Amino acid sequence: MIRVTKLTDYGIVLMTRLAKRAYREQVTAPDLSRDMGMPLPTIRKILKILTASRLLVSTRGIGGGYRLAHNPEDITLLNLVEALEGPLSLTDCSSGEPCQCKIENCGLGNNWKFINQIMQNTLASYSLAQMASSLPEIPQTLDLRGHR
């Protein structure tokens, strides 16, 4: 079975929720934890990864928080998966590395590269804005600083 990790799944949900908000709106980690019903350490881990990948911008201090670094239309599912999982590669030989297949002359490397490219293209063609379009409107809640 091919499956993204729970952390990646949660990261995509988190980013989709951020995309549903105003593009430049900042949100704190505790607010996201409360709004999403997820443990704060998990939220912080995801935010750290996405900030290091330059998909989020972090501002410290009073009035600080996290916001999308790019327009939601410019962030793709491939960006998110690769930020949270690393480069997409279905098999060792589809990664562009020399094939380490233990089966002598399996001959499937080019097929796997083609299939891998199709998956990359599919994820690259779907934006965060498209993901967010299926969500209901998110009600504005008071954050811990008393701002809307």
Average pLDDT over residues 114-128: 94
Q: Give 100-116 pLDDT, tens digit per residue.
A: 666 766 777 788 889 98
| Residue with more model confidence, 143 or 93 | 93
Q: What is the CATH number of the domain that holds 11?
A: 1.10.10.10
Any domain includes 82: yes
Average pLDDT over residues 23-37: 88
- Rounded CA separation 59/138 (Å): 22
**Structural domain boundaries enclosing 56:** 6-132
Any domain includes 80: yes
Any domain includes 142: no
What pLDDT does 107 receive?
A: 73
What pLDDT does 96 receive?
A: 67
Any domain includes 58: yes
Average pLDDT, the chain: 85
Q: Residue for token digits 């094939």?
A: 99
Any domain includes 42: yes
Any domain includes 19: yes
What pLDDT does 134 receive?
A: 83
Any domain includes 1: no
What pLDDT does 146 receive?
A: 45
User: Given phi > 0 = left and psi -120 to 50 = alpha, else beta, which region is 41?
Assistant: alpha
Domains of the chain: total: 1
